[in-house]
Structure 1
Amino acid sequence: MNHFFDVPYALHILPDLLRASVYTILITLVGFAIALVLGLALAILRRSPIKPLARAVGFFVEFVRSTPLLIQVYVLFYVMPLYGVTMSALAAGTVGIAVHYACYTSEVYRAGLNGVARGQWEAACALSLSPWRTYSGVILPQAIRPMIPALGNYLVAMFKDTPVLSAITVVELMQQAKNIGSETFRYLEPITLAGLFFLVISVTFAQLVRRLEIGLRLP
């Protein structure tokens, strides 16, 4: 207890924090995969010629983006069971963070779609391509490349927001560090290690996104 940072104790708790970090990474990857797909769907629906549908989707996106993630996961885990919708803490946390970031990624998609030259849309219409063929074969291949840096930023941001899920009893990396601290009354080592894990994993995610951006760059 007299040491400023007890290395043997840090090595002792390291396996527990490593397991929690893997758990946190899995939550992030699953949530981000959902956010990518749902965000694209929201962006396309927001461009719908059916005005009531486009406005409803727009309102949903702005509502979710304008309210805290903590409140949203609280509603999913504590309020929705009152109306017959019950989820585990892990499911509620993953769904909550996925939907929250889907609304942010939808704006990235919307900006990318709007950045495609109008002539491309008109050419697809002139060829009588279906909406599916228009998006998958003409528009998205041109729009995706500029979106990658922004989408990568949201991947890192989602990973750093996973501690919010501890509010609904999800034992992710930060919660595991706090649990270890509360058991031993030594917070320096677990919190420091958790911070280092967040730093290393966030930088790794950023580098992977950077390599993907370079790999997809046009010559």
Structure 2
Amino acid sequence: MWKWEYVEKILPKLLEAIPVAAGAALAGFALAVLLGLPIALARRSRNRWLSAPVAAAAEFVRSTPLLVQLFVLVFVLPQSFGIRLSPFWAGVLGLGIHYSTYLSEVYRSGIEAVPKGQWEAAIALNFGKWRTWSRIVLPQSVPPTLPVMGNYLITMFKETPTLSAITVVELLMTAKIAGSASFRYVEAFTLVGLIFLLLSYPSALLVRMLEKRLQRREGRIGSR
């Protein structure tokens, strides 16, 4: 049976775990954003010695479970290379590397959406590669991808319960601890689900609003 007294008891503990989950998601997302662009550029390179290994590594990361990658960071790195990470930072690194391969595809689609005439104009103006990318390509390719990136940030936040497998005390781990102490799991896991819903759904609405705003902006620019 559902007990509101128990809900009132464990809810503060669950709320205290929100910053851990949010911090891991935000830090992992920042890492994914930083790594995604170099991966996208390397995969577009004409040098096969660069593009082929990067593409193979990205496909491997994207095609293997995040949980396996987290176990590698926590258990394999210390034994094989002597590299020890705290569970939290191992989780951040795992999320960042895993989702950087997805964001690289987002970057790639944005870059390929830049009209061919923009590239030709850069050549006609005798722009170097750095100036072409910094002044023409990236300013046009990144903004349209922001809604997709926002969706990936929400997805990463919902993936943070996976970090409980490497002993990160986030929402799910906190619920497990509370449930194991009282043998009451219904309230604990239900509250975790509601917290994720209350945080993720408004964020999804904001991403949709951003997407519609960008579409209206592109429509105004295109009509000029």
Give me the TM-score of the superposition, normalised by structure 2: 0.91
Amino acid at match of 1:203: Y
Q: Report the counterpart of residue 135 of structure 2 in structure 1.
A: 137
In structure 2, C-alpha distance between the alignment counterparts of 1:10 and 1:130, rounded to whole Å: 62
Equivalent position of 1:158 in the other structure: 156
Which whole-Å CA distance do the structure 1 matches of 2:21 and 2:174 have between them?
Answer: 10
Given the two structures, how large is their TM-score scaled by the length of structure 1?
0.93
Match of 2:6 among 5, 9, 27: 9
- The DSSP-based 3-state class of the residue aligned with 1:49 is coil
What is the one-letter code of the residue matched to 1:59?
A
Distance 1:26 1:132 in 2: 33
Aligned match of 1:200: 198
1:168 equivalent in structure 2? 166
- 5+ residue gaps, structure 1: none
**Greater shift after overlay, 136-145 or 8-17?**
136-145
Aligned positions of 1:26-65 closer than 5 A: 26-65=23-62
User: Residues 77 and 168 of structure 1 are in contact (CA less than 8 Å); yes or no, is this contact kept in structure 2?
Assistant: yes
Choose 202-211 or 172-181, whichever is displaced more: 202-211
Are the equivalent residues in 2 in contact too, given 1:155–1:205 (CA < 8 A)? no
SS at match of 1:171: coil
**Residue 144 of structure 2 contacts residue 214 of structure 2 at CA under 8 Å; is this kept in 1?**
no
Matched residue type, 1:178: K
- Distance in 2 separating the partners of 1:141 and 1:209: 20
1:155-213, Cα deviation, whole Å (9 max, x unpaired):
12111111111111111111111111011111111111100011111112212323433
User: CA offset at residue 216 of structure 1?
Assistant: 4.0
1:72-87 aligned within 5 A: 72-82=69-79, 83-87=81-85
For residues 119-159 of structure 1, what are the alpha-carbon distances to aligned partners after superposition, in whole Å with 9 as ceiling and x for unaligned?
21122223232333222221122222332232222112111
The Cα offsets for residues 12-67 of structure 1, whole Å up to 9 and x where unpaired, read as 11111001112101111111111112111211121123221111111111110010
Tell me the equivalent position of 2:68. 71
| Displacement after TM superposition at 1:215 (Å) | 4.5
Identity of aligned residues (%): 50
Q: Secondary structure of the residue that 2:142 maps to in structure 1?
A: helix
Structure 2, unaligned runs of 5 or more: none
The one-letter code sitting in structure 2 at the alignment partner of 1:20 is A
Residues 85-132 of structure 1 deviation map (CA, whole Å, 9 limit, x = unaligned): 111111111100111000011011111111111121122223232333
Matching residue of 1:100: 98
Q: Distance in 2 between matches of 1:104 and 1:113?
A: 15
Asked whether the 8 Å contact 1:145–1:213 carries over to 2, the reply is no
Correspondence for 1:111: 109
Mean CA deviation greater in 37-46 or 188-197: 37-46
